[in-house]
Structure 1
Amino acid sequence: MAATIKEIAERAGVSTTTVSNVIHGKTKKVSPATIQKIEGLIREMGYVQKMGLRVLNKESSQLIAVVINYHKDFRDSILGDPFYGKLIGFIEEYVRKMGYYLIFYSAKDVEDIFRMVMGWDVDGVIALSFSRRNCEKIYQLIQKPIVSVDAYGELEEGQGNHVVNIGLDDESGGYMMTKYLLECGYEHIKVCAGRDSGVDHLRYLGAQRAVDELADGRQKLQFVALGMNYAKRRDSYAWLMQRRKPKTALFFLSDVYALEAVSFLCDRGLHIPQDLGVAGYDNISFAEFSAPRLTTVKQDVEQKAKLAVKILMDRIQGRETEEERDIRLPVTLITRKSVMVQEREK
């Protein structure tokens, strides 16, 4: 059990003020023997300094803020999304190993996030799903190191470029999945996402490139904007079901949406992949255990989290390197049972 300053003072036979002075480095009037005794008791009794006191004493806060500017409506908490839950879990693990603590804050309104990071004395920020412009604005507001994950868009002219972004080779992911669907013989490929923006746009560009390079005259590509809340997505799934043609594959740019659609379609009598091929993106843990198991594009979430924390800590500790401002990690095609080879016409 952690000890209090009062308990340490009683064991040391000194005042609580003396113990507090030793804790905060104010030892000019404290003898070396007393300092050694108090420091020994601090270690032995497990005293933990309150975070707020570090801020008041102008020390490093040891706080890292992880902020999310989310855009879609979540049926539960944002942490209910397996991708965000896994990413933040790994970030917290690596931050803790470095002796820091994590503050997590999510909001749709980016102004709320600006106020939050300005209001806390954090040592650095990891920003998830922000525009590059807003990542740079956070840096300008607090003048502290910031690393972004999956930032999108472009910086405004003259805005500066102080933020390292860690993303994926999203265009290659879109390309390799669409290439695989074409090779399986699908003639109607529908790329499905909440909207055509951010990393989803890059994945769609990869899909377009695959069709331009590899498709014959029969094979077509279409983007379908599902909507950013469940009610709109459900209507989109019904629309996709009604307009289904033979040899159609749905390529969802998120595993969560792919699994949501599989549930909707199977409840209404369709068989995956016999009636409709379904593919996803991310390889969340549920993708391997769904029925059928989901064909998808794998990203290494732990690598993304570990690299974000490493770069941020290097910058906090003055070890800024000349790494690229835009790091793109590789992705891998994972083939499972939700897609099947189509019969060739005789």
Structure 2
Amino acid sequence: MTTIYDIAKKTGFSITTVSKVLNNYPDVADKTRKKIMEAVNEMGYFPSSSARTLSTKKSWSIGVVFDEESGMQHPFFNAVIESFRKSVEKNGYDLLFASSKIGNDSKTYLDHFQYRGVDGVVVVSSNMNDPDVEKLMNSDIPSVVIDLDSRGASVVFSDNQYGSELAVDYLFSLGHRKIAHISGHQEGFVGVQRLVGYQNAMKKYNLEIPVQYIVNGGYFTYEGGQKAMNELLSLDERPTAVYVAGDLMALGAIEQIRQKGLEVPKDISIVGFDDIHFAQYTVPALTTIRQDTAQIGKTAANLLIEQISDKKKQYMSIKIPVSLVERKSCRPI
């Protein structure tokens, strides 16, 4: 088995220099780094995780906290974590997913991650009122949050309010005035922000919002969209368009419309939010607000790795732009 000593012998550099390159220390010349990495790849060197942990006093692992109500099944979360994973793996880190219940014992996230000795933590769209998440954010562990309002960590999030305004602007431009909203659950940062954006846009155009026109679709699920759409379809004065706070809910809403013998966009226009992979393949293809999942994941990874390297928590808030993707689920009236 190839060792660090073999790499040093082949390249002519000291063991200390080779170790610095393998552990991503910045104070090594690019030419030196390149030569050492070429030898590493050529000789098939794979460092011992325990040896690396001892030499660097780091676990080379990053904890992941996610919303246990919807889990990691949502395509948006999967896309963000995949981007995050690729970025941190380039820097030598593995991911450790955590639940609030480990084995038969209930443990806080902080307890679990301190026990496992993670170098940092990423929180993906959890409940902003969760005391366990708040406790974790207030700890000394470097952390970054995705789609959650937190004062105890760096935050990366899409421009949810502006995305909602884009959706309403688009529907208004098509002649729609009776625009309803299926919101996400209101204990979450995303659901609240998208609802506020919808309300602001409707106010901008002096459009009335009947109380019945805002329906909570819950945790951004297909079934939640179906149930919420059923409520809107039962109204005496049905909306001509519905802006839905998540694509999975939007797809559920479209199916509910179909089950009632109606068509999208002939009878009701639909706009979603996320631009999940399936959105372009549905019938009709879904007009939606696109989140840049690759940029969100990469930005969050860079922020966290910088904190780990500096051994100091940062408190930054980075808003990632969104855009409207026009497809076939809306029509002018």
TM-score (norm 2): 0.76
Contact kept in structure 2, 1:299 and 1:330, CA below 8 Å: yes
CA deviation profile, 1:122-180 (whole Å, cap 9, x unmatched) = 11111111328755521444x2211111113x65xxxxx4x110112211111121122
1:96 matched to 2:86? The reply is no
Residue 283 of structure 1 is matched in structure 2 by 275
**2-side partners of 1:252 and 1:202: how far apart?**
13
Aligned residue among 154, 171, 181 for 2:171: 181
Rg (Cα) greater in structure: 1
Report whether the alignment pairs 1:335 with 2:326: yes
The whole-number CA distance in structure 1 between the counterparts of 2:57 and 2:160 is 40
- The structure, 1 or 2, with the larger RCO (C-alpha pairs under 8 Å, 6+ apart) is 2
Distance 1:136 1:51, change over 3 A: farther
Amino acid at match of 1:64: I
Counterpart code for 2:145: S
User: SS at 1:280's partner residue?
Assistant: strand
Corresponding residue for residue 62 of structure 2: 64
Q: Are the counterparts in 1 of residues 141 and 313 from structure 2 also a CA contact under 8 Å? A: no
Residues 116 and 271 of structure 1: is their aligned pair in 2 closer, same or farther, counting only changes over 3 Å?
same
Question: Structure 1 regions of 5+ residues with no counterpart?
Answer: 9-22, 24-40, 73-77, 156-160
8 Å Cα contact 2:286-2:327 kept in structure 1? yes
Give the SS at the match of 2:117. coil
* Distance of aligned partners of 1:284 and 1:42 in 2 relative to their CA distance in 1, 3 Å threshold: closer
1:47-79: per-residue Cα shift (whole Å, max 9, x none)? 54553565577731111112113334xxxxx33
Which sections of structure 2, spanning at least 5 residues, go unmatched? 6-18, 20-38
> 8 Å contact 1:69–1:107 — kept in the other structure?
no
Contact 1:195–1:225 (8 Å) recurs in 2? yes
RMSD, aligned CA: 3.4
Question: Could you list the per-position Cα deviations for residues 271-309 of structure 1 after superposition, in whole angstroms to 9, with x for gaps in the alignment?
Answer: 101011111001111111111111111111110111111
CA contact (8 A) 1:171 1:206 kept: yes
2:191 alignment partner in structure 1 = 200
8 Å Cα contact 1:250/1:279 also seen in 2:
yes
Q: Distance in 2 between matches of 1:99 and 1:227?
A: 37
Q: Which residue is 2:25 aligned to?
A: none
1:139–1:236 distance in 2 versus 1, CA, 3 Å = closer
Question: Which residue number corresponds to residue 166 of structure 1?
Answer: 156
Correspondence 1:146 to 2:136: no
Q: Is the 8 A contact 1:252 1:281 kept in 2?
A: yes
Question: What is the number of equivalent residue pairs in this alignment?
Answer: 296
Q: CA separation in 2, counterparts of 1:332 and 1:187?
A: 22
**8 Å CA contact retained: 2:67, 2:124:** yes
Map of 1:292 onto structure 2 = 284
The AA in structure 2 aligned to 1:99 is: G
Query: Offset of 1:80 from its aligned partner?
Result: 2.7
Corresponding letter in the other structure for 1:65: G
* CA 280–231 in structure 1, closer or farther in 2 if over 3 Å, else same: closer
Q: Which residue matches 1:119? A: 115
Letter in 2 for 1:63: S
In 1, Cα distance between equivalents of 2:272 and 2:100:
26
Overall identity of the aligned pairs, in %: 28
Q: Contact 2:290–2:325 at 8 Å: present in 1 too? A: yes
What residue number does 1:223 align with? 214
2:76 corresponds to which residue? Answer: 83
User: What secondary structure, in the 3-state scheme, does the structure 2 residue paired with 1:79 have?
Assistant: coil
Cα distance, 1:244 vs structure 2: 6.6
Contact 1:55 1:121 in 2 (8 A): no
Question: 1:179 and 1:294, CA in 2 relative to 1: closer, same or farther beyond 3 A?
Answer: same
Given candidates 260, 265, 272, the residue that maps to 2:257 is: 265
TM-score computed with the length of structure 1 as normaliser: 0.73
SS at match of 1:298: strand
- 2:135 equivalent in structure 1: 137
Aligned counterparts of 1:249 and 1:127: Cα–Cα separation in 2: 34
Does the Cα contact within 8 Å between 2:224 and 2:252 map onto a contact in 1?
A: no
CA contact (8 A) 2:62 2:122 kept: yes
Asked whether the equivalents of residues 228 and 253 of structure 2 are also in contact (C-alpha less than 8 Å), the reply is no
